[in-house]
Amino acid sequence: MKMEIIHAVHVLVKSLLIVLLWSDCEGRESELDYVTCGSLVKLLNTRHNVRLHSHDVKYGSGSGQQSVTGVENADDANSYWQIRGKPNLPCQRGAAIKCGQAIRITHMKTGRNLHTHHFSSPLSNNQEVSAFGENGEGDDLDVWAVQCDGTYWERDEAVRFKHVGTDAFLSVTGEQYGHPIRGQREVHGMSSPNQHNWWRSMEGVFIQPNMEPLHHDEL
């Protein structure tokens, strides 16, 4: 009887080991849990399920700058934004973004930075959020602080973006545009944190930090 139990346990442990070893083979889990400097991301507003988006369409009112909206579809390259450091203070490529860190969010296709200022948004009369600058260079109102719990901005965590300068939170409350950008939602700044200003990273190209040093002094 004892021998049978021992044998059964032996088989169990062996099969468990095989399963573990085999599962390791399946494919590497992503080792990168954080959003890092230089990465391209799509940002999803968790309350309204739309992605932060911009395009070569200007506001018809307010500042007349390039508009920023929220879109439903997940396969548009115009929803990609690059995470970069402040002007004159570049972040190190691949370094995880810390909670509280000031960053710029640059629209990949047009090279303009996520920007807000004291203009009214067209649909809801909140603070207008636009895309401003050329080739990634705009002005001091391009800077946003990432607000999250913990040390670093985690990829599957909802965070808030608080504007450095006007203290507005990047938000969506659901108002929709008509022609020519029918169905897209208004993105604006709101003064207080609430359920409408949570965003999380979705699709993207996430740069990993450098592993080895470039020259081998220790040899």
Partner 1 sequence: MAAKGMNLCNVCCLLLYITTAVLAGRDFYKILGVSKSASIRDIKKAYRKLALQLHPDRNQDDPKAQDKFADLGAAYEVLSDEEKRKQYDAYGEDGLKEGHHGSHNDIFSSFFGDFGFMFGGNRQQQDRNIPRGNDIILDLEVTLEEVYSGNFVEVVRNKPVAKEAPGKRKCNCRQEMRTTQLGPGRFQMTQEMVCDECPNVKLVNEERTLEVEIEQGVRDEMEYPFIGEGEPHIDGEPGDLRFRIKVLKHPVFERRGDDLYTNVTISLVEALVGFEMDIAHLDGHKVHIVRDKITKPGARMWKKGEGLPNFDNINIRGSLIITFDVEFPQTQLDEQQKDGEDEGSVEGHPGTSVLTGLLLGKVTLLHDLPLGKMPTDAKEMSIYQADGCNF
Burial class (CB in 10 A: 0-12, 13-18, 19+), 11: exposed
Q: Which two tokens stand for residue 35?
A: 């959003």
> Quick check: 39 and 207 in contact, CB under 8 A?
yes
Least separation, in Å, of the C-beta of 83 and partner 1? 11
Map the footprint of partner 1 across residues 61-90, applying CB under 8 A. 74-78, 80, 82, 90
Q: Give the binding range for partner 1 (CB under 8 A) out of 3-11, 22-30, 124-132, 192-200.
A: 22-30
Q: Which two tokens stand for residue 137?
A: 């260079």
What H or E segment, with its residue span, contains residue 50? strand 50-58
Among 19, 21, 181, 197, binds partner 1 (CB under 8 A): 21
Among 6, 93, 100, 191, binds partner 1 (CB under 8 A): 93
Among 94, 122, 165, 174, binds partner 1 (CB under 8 A): 94
d(CA 57, CA 181) in angstroms, rounded, equals 9
Q: Which is nearer to partner 1, 3 or 21 (CB)?
A: 21
Count the residues of the shown chain that bind partner 1, applying the rule CB under 8 A. Answer: 36
Identity at 47, one-letter amino acid code: R
d(CA 160, CA 144) in angstroms, rounded, equals 10
**Three-state secondary structure call for residue 87:** coil
- Is 40 near partner 1 (CB under 8 A)? yes
- Would you tell me which residues interact with partner 1 (CB under 8 A)? 21-22, 25, 27-28, 30-32, 38, 40, 74-78, 80, 82, 90, 93-94, 108, 136, 202-208, 210-212, 214-217
